[in-house]
């Protein structure tokens, strides 16, 4: 049974929905970007989900046989032990001899002492197998990669170096695809001598060094040689021990120069191997003086090593290499997804707080600017004050609506302080007093003009003294002189007469008051604006009039 891995598509959909919710309800970047950003979020989410779906489908197809074999081999292992037992990928040379454990053909999987060993026939398959193992192990990547080295299977050193570069690149790709550093190990299978040990099992013993950190230094490897030499001294009469110690020192030196040098050289393009362990065993394929290590021995000593026969299969697994293997703390993909969901939620909350803060700052700045504008206008600029008053009323109504129906999300999250401005708005609105109505002096036309005439009567100016005093007491005002008639006679004639009488009165006021003519305006209305009905002589007498009205001067800033 295969457990589910990391729910990447669910996380992508969750992040997209959360982003849309924040974007629509909080609008951290403003309304003008809302539709463009929505389309962008949906496109990115769809692309990520589609890419992940294709990746999973391709991985399932490519690893179907592998997972079937793993399931059959590990049927007796409890499901929760898959992530706790070390899983090691083995690639390189002579895998058939290592995994040939009496099944008639090399096995794909071996369950060793406390570890699961998985054969990878081609180094190029390491990335795909590593990804499949991460899915099979509930999101946990393999614990290490062992390179099986059988120098006798290589024709010369150049071919060997090229194969090592392929393995190096494959491990770098595998580490990248599973997003984890995979520890590397080197297991060298090489017949060291034609002599047979007194103890048949001595030849099948590993001489190894391993560490919990990527450190394979000269001192640690030198300790392997010293241990072999000490054992040879203890067995002074044993020819095998002496020959074995000498050959082991030679193969270790060759491995450091040729194998480790190629795998860890920082000048190579691929990421250097992180070597956590290495081991050597007097076991391997048939070999002669034409093979890379033997040729190196011949160059060093001028002695050609003797040909040796192959060790019968199966060859021992390098169990000692992984004894100090670093242990990862297993984490469930669901736990990782939950942590990522919390992180995404925290990010969305941060954007929501940021957007709410911006909107609240804009609201406070707008209301305070409207209050300051209203306070800066003097009563004689009433038109501008009315405009500012309308803005204050709109602000007050908006804040009052929030108080009654609730604050919208784009202003909430504990950052809303608009209620504090309501008293100031109400006070400013209540302080507005409309200006008094224009001062109007109504004069009886019959007391100023003869019937049908537009020249002032002699002596009629006495009645105009009060009008002159009123005009002088209101400097800065414009003076509108308007003439009116009753409806007796022709309307056009009445209009002309009313305009002429207003002009005559204006001319006299200019002369009497000394006020510039630019402050005066003349308007004749004829019989179009009666104040009472023209049905009676008394009504017609009241409608025959001249009105002097003081209005604010638009040149002083009023409309």
Neighbours of 284 (CB within 10 A): 25
Q: What per-residue confidence (pLDDT) applies to 4?
A: 47
Task: Indicate left, alpha or beta for 130 from its phi (over 0: left) and psi (-120 to 50: alpha).
Answer: alpha
Cβ atoms of residues 383 and 558 within 8 Å: yes
- Rounded to two decimals, the pTM is 0.58
- HEC states along 349-388? HHHHHHHHHHHHHHHHHHHHHHHHHHHHCCCCCHHHHHHH
Q: What per-residue confidence (pLDDT) applies to 558?
A: 39
Q: How far apart are CA 145 and CA 276, in angstroms?
A: 10
SS3 540: helix
Query: What percent of the residues of the chain are helix, what percent strand, and what percent coil, each to the nearest 5?
Result: 55, 15, 35
Angle between helices 333-376 and 8-25 (to 10 degrees): 10
Per-residue pLDDT of the chain (559 residues; tens, 9 = 90+): 344 466 888 889 999 998 888 888 887 766 767 788 888 888 998 998 898 788 767 766 666 666 776 666 666 666 666 667 889 999 999 999 998 866 567 788 888 777 889 999 999 999 988 988 887 777 788 999 999 999 999 988 888 999 999 999 999 999 988 888 899 999 999 998 888 887 767 778 899 888 887 766 656 788 888 888 888 788 777 788 888 888 889 999 899 889 998 998 888 888 888 889 999 999 999 998 889 988 888 888 887 788 888 988 889 999 888 888 877 666 667 777 888 899 999 998 888 888 888 888 989 999 999 999 999 988 878 888 889 999 999 999 999 999 888 888 888 887 888 888 899 999 999 998 887 766 788 888 888 888 888 888 887 777 788 788 888 877 778 899 999 999 988 999 999 999 999 999 999 888 888 888 888 999 999 999 999 999 998 998 999 999 998 887 654 443 3
Q: What per-residue confidence (pLDDT) applies to 527?
A: 92
CA 27 to chain centre: 15
Q: What per-residue confidence (pLDDT) applies to 331?
A: 64
Strand partners, 520: 479
Q: What per-residue confidence (pLDDT) applies to 529?
A: 92
Name the superfamily (CATH) of residues 440-556: OmpA-like domain (3.30.1330.60)
Cβ atoms of residues 316 and 117 within 8 Å: no
Alpha helices in 137-204 (DSSP H): 157-177
- State both tokens at 387: 């405009």
């Amino acid at each position: 049974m295969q457990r589910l891995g990391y729910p990447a598509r669910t996380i992508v959909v969750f992040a997209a929905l959360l982003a849309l919710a924040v974007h629509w309800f909080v609008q951290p970047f403003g309304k003008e970007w809302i539709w463009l950003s929505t389309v962008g979020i949906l496109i990115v989410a769809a692309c990520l989900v589609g890419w992940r779906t294709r990746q999973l489908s391709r991985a399932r197809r490519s690893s179907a046989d592998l997972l079937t074999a793993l399931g059959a081999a590990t049927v007796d292992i409890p499901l929760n032990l898959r992530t706790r037992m070390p899983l090691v990928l083995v690639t390189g040379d002579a895998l058939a001899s290592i995994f040939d454990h009496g099944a008639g053909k090399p096995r794909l999987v071996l369950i060793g002492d406390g570890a699961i060993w998985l054969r990878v026939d081609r180094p190029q398959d390491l990335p795909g197998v590593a990804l499949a193992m991460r899915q099979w192990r509930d999101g946990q990547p393999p614990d290490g990669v062992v390179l099986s080295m059988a120098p006798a299977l290589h024709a010369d050193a150049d071919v060997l170096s090229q194969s090592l570069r392929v393995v190096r690149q494959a491990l770098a790709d595998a580490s990248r695809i599973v997003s984890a550093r995979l520890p590397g190990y080197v297991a060298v299978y090489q017949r060291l001598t034609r002599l047979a040990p007194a103890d048949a099992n001595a030849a099948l013993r590993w001489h190894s060094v391993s560490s919990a950190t990527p450190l394979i230094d000269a001192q640690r490897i030198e300790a392997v040689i010293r241990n072999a030499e000490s054992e040879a001294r203890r067995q002074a009469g044993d020819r095998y021990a002496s020959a074995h110690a000498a050959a082991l020192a030679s193969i270790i030196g060759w491995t450091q120069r040729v194998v480790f040098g190629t795998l860890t050289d920082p000048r190579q393009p691929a990421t250097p191997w992180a070597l956590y362990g290495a081991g050597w065993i007097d076991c391997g394929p048939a070999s002669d003086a034409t093979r890379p290590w033997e040729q190196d021995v011949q160059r060093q000593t001028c002695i050609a090593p003797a040909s040796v026969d192959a060790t019968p299969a199966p060859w021992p697994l390098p169990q000692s290499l992984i004894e100090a293997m670093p242990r990862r703390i297993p984490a469930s993909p669901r736990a990782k997804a939950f942590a990522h969901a919390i992180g995404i939620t925290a990010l969305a909350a941060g954007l929501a707080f940021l957007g709410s803060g911006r909107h609240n700052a804009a609201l406070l700045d707008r209301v305070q600017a409207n209050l300051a504008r209203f306070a800066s206008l003097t009563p004689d600029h009433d038109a501008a004050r009315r405009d500012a008053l309308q803005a204050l009323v709109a602000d007050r109504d908006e804040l009052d609506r929030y108080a009654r129906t609730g604050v919208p999300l784009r202003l909430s999250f504990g950052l809303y302080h608009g209620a504090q401005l309501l008293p100031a708005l109400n006070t400013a609105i209540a302080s507005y007093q409309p200006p008094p109505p224009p001062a109007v002096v109504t004069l009886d036309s019959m007391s100023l003009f003869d019937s049908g005439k537009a020249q002032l009567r002699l002596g009629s100016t006495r009645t105009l003294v009060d009008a002159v005093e009123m005009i002088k007491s209101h400097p800065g005002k414009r003076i509108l002189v308007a003439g009116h008639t009753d409806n007796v006679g022709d309307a056009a004639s009445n209009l002309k007469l009313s305009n002429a009488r207003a002009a005559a009165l204006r001319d006299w006021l200019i002369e009497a008051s000394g006020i510039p003519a630019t402050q005066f305006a003349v308007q004749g209305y004829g019989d179009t604006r009666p104040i009472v009905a023209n049905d009676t002589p008394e009504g017609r007498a009241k409608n025959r009039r001249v009105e002097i009205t003081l209005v604010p001067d638009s040149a002083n800033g009023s409309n």
